[in-house]
């Protein structure tokens, strides 16, 4: 982890919608929202200074609840707020809130399960990781 990075502001990841990500209705095809969230969580970890390989911990998706509130289309920028909203023993929930120019587009809550890095054996998050991602 980079210098014990602590950030008190919510992390927002911005993604510009590309032409090929839109469907016949000219809005973002639903599966792309999951890819956007995957990209956003990766950038969130990097922003917070968490390198999972360095701490011997990783996580896997267990459940995703994606709710669409409005459309996004080609060349618009989706701002995705990322925040940890629940911690269990080995699992945790991350909420993604996507907007375009302040207009609601989607919410997604993903339940991840912590695992030992490089395996599927469950383990709790290291305390320092939990503290950093809880800010």
pLDDT of residue 6 exceeding 50: no
Mean pLDDT of 57-70: 97
User: Would you say domain 2-134 falls under CATH 3.40.50.10330?
Assistant: no
**Per-residue model confidence as pLDDT tens digits over 68-113:** 999 999 999 999 999 999 999 999 999 999 999 999 999 999 999 9
Could you give the CA distance from residue 81 to residue 90 in angstroms, rounded to a whole number? 23
Residue where the block lists tokens 């909203």: 85
Burial class (CB in 10 A: 0-12, 13-18, 19+), 1: middle
| Model confidence band, residue 3 (pLDDT cutoffs 50, 70, 90) | very low
For tokens 């890819």, what's the residue?
Answer: 35
pTM of the model: 0.91
């Amino acid at each position: 982890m980079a210098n014990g990075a602590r950030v008190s502001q919510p992390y927002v990841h911005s993604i510009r919608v590309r032409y090929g990500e839109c469907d016949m209705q000219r809005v973002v095809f639903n599966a792309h929202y999951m890819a956007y969230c995957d990209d956003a969580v990766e950038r969130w970890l990097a922003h917070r200074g968490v390198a999972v390989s360095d701490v011997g911990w990783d996580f896997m998706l267990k459940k995703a609840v994606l709710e669409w509130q409005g459309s996004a289309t080609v060349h618009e920028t989706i701002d995705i707020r990322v925040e940890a909203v629940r911690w269990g023993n080995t699992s945790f929930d991350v909420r993604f809130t996507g907007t375009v120019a302040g207009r609601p587009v989607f919410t997604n809550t993903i339940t991840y399960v912590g695992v030992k890095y490089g395996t599927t054996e469950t383990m709790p998050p290291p305390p320092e990781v939990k503290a950093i991602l809880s800010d």
